[in-house]
Amino acid sequence: MDDSSCLNDADRAKLEREWQALLEQKGTLRIWRDGAVAEVPDDCYDSYLLETLDRLKPASDSSFLKAARLIGEAIGCCDQIIGAAYFEYRLRKLIYAGILEIKGVPRSMRHYSVRRKKLSSN
């Protein structure tokens, strides 16, 4: 066995400290930033999701966009590797916050559609 591929004690200790620091973080999302793993706020990509929705907006303002289409586009165009579960979690938070409207049943991302909530003209 070639010992050149093994970690020395100092490198191993450094990796252990980094891992312990990550374990102590309470956040939902971590991204790769400036050559290291960085914890970011849960809502870090909310504006990105909304911008993606606006870019994909159906021809009619009253039309809804399939959640799976929005999430797929968000994953495909994101500068980070972030899974569908996170984006769907944030999509649902935007619905609960009243920023987005939903049509369908949020059983899974392919069972519902979303659009920006219409402002009432009262």
Predicted local confidence at residue 51, as pLDDT = 96
Predicted local confidence at residue 2, as pLDDT = 62
Pair 32, 78: CB distance under 8 Å: no
Predicted local confidence at residue 94, as pLDDT = 97
40-52 pLDDT, tens digit per residue, is: 999 999 999 999 9
| Secondary structure class of 97 (helix, strand, coil) | coil
As a whole number of angstroms, the distance between CA 98 and CA 80 comes to 27
Predicted local confidence at residue 105, as pLDDT = 92
Query: What pTM does this model have?
Result: 0.80
Say how many CA atoms lie within 13 Å of 11 toward its Cβ: 5
Full pLDDT tens readout for the chain, 122 residues: 566 678 899 999 998 998 898 888 888 899 999 988 889 999 999 999 999 999 998 666 668 999 999 999 999 999 999 999 999 999 999 999 999 999 999 899 999 999 998 876 55
Predicted local confidence at residue 57, as pLDDT = 82
- Mean residue pLDDT of the chain comes to 89
Compute φ and ψ for 99, nearest 5 degrees.
-85, -35
Contacts with 25 (C-beta within 8 Å, 6 or more apart), sequence order: 39
